[in-house]
Amino acid sequence: MSDGTPRSNVDMKTWRDRFRGGAMPSQLLAKGEPFTAVLCANDRLALGAIEALRERNVGCPEQLSVTSFNDMPFVSLVQPQLTAMRIQHFGAGKAAAGILLYY
């Protein structure tokens, strides 16, 4: 940018369903700008992203990585294997409460 601020390479959307999950990688591929990964807010979005990449013959994970949150039981059935982060909500809440009580 002209003010010296580096250009952000993060494009963010707040979609929730599987079918919209395929829209982001499709839009990015259509722009022609290089990117290496799609980080999805949940596993359903990740499935949509993987489907969209397959439809466009983009190798996952060879060409693009797809990562998600939740780690639902069906994730183990996805091929190629999906990288999914499981958030320990109870533990995170307990830690947050401890911090609040400490300060």
For 32, the token pair is 């022609």
Q: Which domain holds residue 76?
A: 18-102
CATH number for position 62: 3.40.50.2300
> What is the C-alpha separation between 32 and 45, in angstroms, rounded?
22
Angle at 61 between CA 56 and CA 62, to 5 degrees: 80
In what side-by-side order are the strands of the sheet with 37-39? Answer: 37-39, 65-69, 83-85
Question: Is 80 exceeded by the pLDDT of residue 45?
Answer: yes
Domain contains 3: no
The larger pLDDT score, comparing residue 64 to residue 7, is at: 64
Residue 22: predicted pLDDT: 77
Type of residue found at 37: A
Residue 99: predicted pLDDT: 94
The larger pLDDT score, comparing residue 13 to residue 95, is at: 95
Q: How confident is the model at residue 84 (pLDDT cuts 50, 70, 90)?
A: confident
Residue 14: predicted pLDDT: 60
Domain contains 26: yes
Residue 93: predicted pLDDT: 93
Domain contains 93: yes
Domain contains 23: yes
Domain contains 60: yes
| pTM score | 0.69
Residue 100: predicted pLDDT: 94
The structural domain count of the chain equals 1
Domain contains 45: yes
